[in-house]
Amino acid sequence: MDTMPLSLPKSLTEPDGSAVIRVLSYNVRSLRDDEEALARVVTACAPDLVFVQEAPRFFRWRKHAARLAAKCDLVVLGGGATAAGPLLLCSLRTFVERTEDVLLPLTPGLHRRGFATAVVRFGAARVGVLSAHLSLDRAERLGQAQLLLERLEALDVPYGIAAGDMNETPAGPAFGRLAGALRDCRTVAPWGAEHTFPAAAPDRRIDAVFATAGVEVLGCGVPAGLEGVRAADLAAATDHLPVLAALRLPAPA
């Protein structure tokens, strides 16, 4: 794991209304591991948006989501059990226009999946966001990738960001479909470490941040070595490593 000191552009709003934001994608395994370590990692990353996968879905799930958000100085934006696991958290810098939780078609014998979506604004820039956790089944996963693209486009805003656990590497067909239609932020501007799973000894990249054309990618990768992000916390927090990206959203012309 890369542990060299890292830097990444910080969040800001420019005089013309353009915005630099930090987004974090993180599979938290239903908060079954070290929640304090998880909160320390998220807080150190200073995100404006957190795309969560495997958020708590059962007894008092809203309370658990709110507790995690509070520990990270964030608030719940949408998702959770009503999206079958994907969750969105945001900073108070975020202006929220609307949210929608989407349940995907259920394949008998497989786990129900869904998307947590929202339209938000930073400065003068409007952006649609979508947190996803694709299927373990190859065929279903490919279909869900297409549904993700359709749902992101249907948000009908200038910019779109989708992030989550793809459950396959960039060589897979679902990942490839997303990367063919969107920009794989890690490929556009590599930063930090690459592999995201398993956290104890990562050897593959199955978590990703994607953005539509027009979004300027300033850096994207696993924040191992970022100030405040400790290797011990990354290993203890959950079984995935997070993906952090800095993105610039130009103001509308």
Nearest of 169, 204, 166, 143 to residue 27 by alpha carbon: 166
How much is the mean pLDDT over the chain?
A: 96
Per-residue pLDDT at 3: 42
Confidence band of 5 (pLDDT split at 50, 70, 90): low
Q: What is the pLDDT of residue 86?
A: 98
Q: What percent of the chain has pLDDT over 90?
A: 95
Contacts of residue 208, defined as CB under 8 A and 6 or more positions apart, other chains included, come to 25, 163, 164, 166, 170, 175, 178, 184, 185, 186, 243
Calculate mean pLDDT across residues 173-194: 98
Where b means 16+ CB within 10 Å and e means fewer, 165-198 reads bbbbebebebbbbbbebbbbbbebbebbbbbbbe
pLDDT in tens, 42-73: 999 999 999 999 999 998 999 999 999 999 99
pLDDT (tens digit, 9 = 90+) per residue, 198-219?
999 999 999 999 999 999 999 9
**How many CB atoms lie under 10 A from the CB of residue 96?**
14
For residue 9, what pLDDT is reported? 95
Query: How confident is the model at residue 253, as a pLDDT?
Result: 81
For residue 181, give the nearest of 151, 136, 203, 212 by alpha carbon. 212
125-133 and 114-122 strand pairing:
antiparallel
Is the pLDDT at 4 greater than 60, yes or no? no
124-157 pLDDT, tens digit each = 999 999 999 999 999 999 999 999 999 999 999 9
pLDDT in tens, 214-242: 999 999 999 999 999 999 999 999 999 99
Q: Which tens digits make up the pLDDT trace of 87-128?
A: 999 999 999 999 999 999 999 989 999 999 999 999 999 999
